Structure 1
């Protein structure tokens, strides 16, 4: 097991139900808050689970698409709410079949390289799905949405993508895991967004040419009975094996004040990003 996952205490913040109908912007503010708290040793290392229904999280480059306003209207017409996130990558589809996990660690005792951060998350995912661990690979899946060198796939079909956020000596490694539903349908939604947002124009940045068939969910790839809820339970069991103590803790009052600061910042930044050009 990856040594960064073996901690004396893990804080576990489960928002897989409570955040479902809130904006993903609230989740990014939560991770920023945890980055500061964990980075400054005001909280133990933390693992957070979160789910958001019918949202498309756009990357920084996406808001520069020539016809992005028209693309966002396509998403909204299909019932999805677009926002812009504050970490790297490109557009990602979220719904109730997608489980997001954040691992938040401090760099005060030991620096964590970018690759080492990704490796921590890969190790956790393999521990979560022992029945498929030897089949899970990390490399870029061409034709997927939000492609990257740490795409997680089984037999060439991507089911997860990883990003990182670094702030105040804290590192949040974030993953979206497609657990339930159709990976290809999510990919088709993002493909249509790009087609309308680009309309064939040449751009300096190379946006992905999405091929829906290269994406799938774990219920399609591993076990049809897998659900978001069962994976959250698996995660809790793993944490109890990894740590001497697991603290099931939402934010305290003083932490909520810090969260309010980061939420305001994220909301203002998102509004500015999505202003019509």
Structure 2
């Protein structure tokens, strides 16, 4: 994966505290992206455990059932938001880990496809480190389908999507955002079932799951530790100043 990164000066690690403001969580990534593009901060790796959210794609917002889908999400305790990057609706909560990798680039559009492939393989390796038989590729019927989704397998269990990825590029920088679903898949599967029904989109609920469904006992902490170890193995990773890391969104 390092061949798709700038990575010359390493990455500054920002670990955001828990929040109850899903919109601010989503918006903070864009704010960091702009700061990196403007040279106000170095290349950044941001980690956080999101509040319950259903992030709709731009195409979802144009469907007749969008209002009902948003209501269904809210009724299940998930904040309905429309994100600027990515495809169809995706759901996440505190049992997930969100990773925003942000780097400056003179031509941020160049390398988009390579980044999808490289990050997909990287996250498959991270999940393998916690005992999951992980692979890159779209699972037939998965929610928010993508060519470079990361899925997990176990004998006798259909493949389930574990990592969804998206990119946003602006002049001068790119943001690669990934959601790893680790714990407590039941509420995610339930809200996605209601949301996709309202949107009129077909999918297979059995494709929605979490890492712990395949390896009982695996935790968000364990996945985060494996992720940071994988990053540290390929580049310099240094913590952001405390006042930056803990700044409210």
TM-score band by shorter chain is 0.7 to 0.9
| TM superposition shift of 1:228 | 1.4
Name the CA distance, whole Å, in 1 between partners of 2:130 and 2:46: 23
Which consecutive unaligned segments of at least 5 residues does structure 2 have?
154-158
Q: Is 1:239 the equivalent of 2:231?
A: yes
Q: Does the residue aligned with 1:129 lie in a helix, a strand or coil?
A: helix
* Bigger helix fraction: 1
C-alpha change, 1:179 and 1:110, in structure 2 (3 Å) is same
The equivalent of 2:72 in structure 1 is 74
Asked whether the equivalents of residues 4 and 111 of structure 2 are also in contact (C-alpha less than 8 Å), the reply is: no
Aligned partner of 2:147 in structure 1 is 149
Residue 174 (structure 1) aligns with:
177
Q: How does 1:179-190 map to 2 (within 5 A)?
A: 179-182=182-185, 185-190=187-192
Give yes or no for the alignment of 1:21 onto 2:20.
yes
* Cα separation, partners in 2 of 1:169 and 1:76, compared to 1, 3 Å: same
Give the TM-score normalised by the residue count of structure 2.
0.84
| RMSD of aligned Cα (Å) | 2.8
Q: Which has the larger radius of gyration?
A: 1
Residue-pair matches, total: 242
The match for 1:85 is 83
Alignment counterpart, residue 210 of structure 1, candidates 192, 203, 221: 203
Distance across 2 between alignment mates of 1:88 and 1:244: 28
Of 49, 52, 64, the match for 2:50: 52
**Pairing 1:229–2:195 present:** no
Where does the alignment leave 5 or more consecutive residues of structure 1 unmatched?
199-206, 264-277
